[in-house]
Structure 1
């Protein structure tokens, strides 16, 4: 135990002395040190900036898609497909969902934790007294809608079952609607008007704020019972399409069982023969996120390749400086080795210098990225995450090791007699 402690103490002292020699060398040649920092600084700055922008962009887009819900399947007429080869003619004559189909799926779906039906309409105008708010997204929902979509209330309450079943004139409104129609007072218990019909406000949703994609925000949304919605607007064929949403269970990984069950129930309800294709689509939000992940992976790769060229320049700069440093200190290396310094000590001395130089340049690059994160880019908020900070530090350390290993190895292999004579 004492022997192991003694060996550990010796190696700790060697490492500390190597680090001290490296710091002294860098301080003695501060101008050269600063100039050699630029390559690594620019490289780390370029790479981490790209990663930060892409990560922030990915986070903002995915947050904009939060209204689709998590672990939810949507039964609709149209599939979520993109590209120039979109076969729209196959789907245009499909039937839309009906309330009876929703009740059938809700009754027999064993792998769904909740099933809801909703339909929406944009560009609605709500009024209260002399105040009005335009471009409101109106949504008619069934009672289980809150279990499928996240309806967070700042005040008031959610619908009661009898309010939904009877299509009563009640509504839950968004934060911006409440602030516009009822400034400086609570909207709960107040009346608003929609197409001349009076609605009693029973709840106000939490403020969500603007999202990056301009996707529907709860701030300008109004939720009403589905049957009340169907009294105001035509629902079904030649009207608003009702959407059946199924919330999966945690035990159903990937929602595979739920999707298969939903497909079987819809085919059964619509009496489709085994040889007939589905006349409905089962859409998954994961389709959009997977497409986004592929795009962001390409952007990260492109940013990494572009930034790696700057890092390569910085690595060559550090390697060149280290070779010059070895040449200048050849006689000192000879004296150290003649006094008993091991190759390990000489190697660490120059390797620490290269790594410290690279890390210092990388930290400056990270600091510049942190400053840029305060820039105002509208709804896109840049955030320098801990993972990107660690990525920058590790990248700087690796560049320091790779650029310093050859100069350090050449210094460690010097013959002490020849090294002393070279310095004379």
Structure 2
């Protein structure tokens, strides 16, 4: 109990010392403030960027593989485009073959895109991204329909001229009314709206296009309108949760498609099986570099701030040497003196770190276009933790010197 009282008394002494030298205290904590601001700001922006990009990637689905002509390249060695160029595009017949024979897939879909296509309703028009999909697409990627419904199996199999439109398309073509059941024109053909997607809003990066300006139509209808030339669809298969790493699915797709294309064992596969995890790993690697840069930038400022605090603590010890002698002559223990100066250094560093965190918090309210900056609790704890460590490292040596002073010599000091 006595020890606790002395610790609290040391804390009170440290607080009084900081309050009595406001100007010096303020100048001392600036270095720590700048350092913590740099680290927490970089971490917050990097986390916000990563979350925004990964949310934008959600359209490609979870636990899925894409069967495509071109492999996704993320800087891992040479990209042999001249070899991939000769490979055939996936076909609708191959999709049907995989759909009928895959046992390791919970869903299989075929998709294709056509960008910058005008959709019209009377005098209203908009350039939209048209996406042809098969029925099981909504089991692979989220299609949040808020008005109307999703396609029926009959509509997708027959390639009927129905559509699920994005929120911006709905607002442009059918202002102030529900589009469900109404017609619009696409490539000179009439399509009936059966559903409207939930509005997503702006995003920093849009993988696969902005859902708000997208038009989903059955793949059969898409093929009739836009695949008069060479089609280039993608086949997507979704694995089961028990298939860790999708190894079973990838192996079965490889075996079936090689059989379908008549490839002999000595022939290499002439198709690519792409996995979203590769894109996620590439993004994580990029943000790891940015995070390291934030540490390096912030560390220099914190180092300067730490030296500043240590310098002030040495000055404080010299100024209060006489007081230290009086306290020790009255029976103050060494740890009581040590805690006074150590707490003063920690409090100084924590105040500086707190100001830096506050600045980042205020920064999160500023508009950054489509990037929504959110300050996570772990970044706040990181800033306070780094501040505490800097305070301990900066104050431990001056505090130990103060605690070891001889009371007789200290009382005589001027």
Of 40, 59, 67 in structure 1, the residue corresponding to residue 51 of structure 2 is 59
1:105 equivalent in alignment to 2:98? yes
Of 3, 15, 20 in structure 2, the residue corresponding to residue 28 of structure 1 is 20
Range with greater deviation from structure 2 (394-403 or 269-278):
269-278
How far apart are 1:82 and its partner, in Å?
4.2
Local SS of the residue matching 1:272: coil
Query: Retained in 2: the 8 A contact 1:54–1:300?
Result: yes
Distance 2:267 2:10 in 1: 77
Could you list the per-position Cα deviations for residues 371-393 of structure 1 after superposition, in whole angstroms to 9, with x for gaps in the alignment?
22222221122222211111111
Give runs of aligned pairs for residues 18-417 of structure 1, distance below 5 A. Answer: 18-83=10-75, 85-134=78-127, 136-215=128-207, 216-234=209-227, 238-417=229-408
Give TM-score scaled by structure 1 length. Answer: 0.94
Query: Retained in 1: the 8 A contact 2:109–2:137?
Result: yes
Query: Retained in 1: the 8 A contact 2:95–2:235?
Result: yes
Q: Flag structure 2 segments of 5+ consecutive residues without an equivalent.
A: none
How far apart are 1:115 and its partner, in Å?
0.9
Query: Retained in 2: the 8 A contact 1:26–1:353?
Result: yes
Query: Retained in 1: the 8 A contact 2:74–2:282?
Result: no
How far apart are 1:325 and its partner, in Å?
0.7
Distance 2:230 2:50 in 1: 35
Local SS of the residue matching 2:62: coil
Could you list the per-position Cα deviations for residues 192-218 of structure 1 after superposition, in whole angstroms to 9, with x for gaps in the alignment?
111121111000000011221244011
Range with greater deviation from structure 2 (278-287 or 110-119):
110-119
Distance 2:37 2:263 in 1: 59
Distance 1:10 1:247 in 2: 66
Q: Flag structure 1 segments of 5+ consecutive residues without an equivalent.
A: 1-8
How many pairs align?
A: 412
Give TM-score scaled by structure 2 length. Answer: 0.96
Query: Retained in 1: the 8 A contact 2:66–2:273?
Result: yes
- Alignment RMSD: 1.4
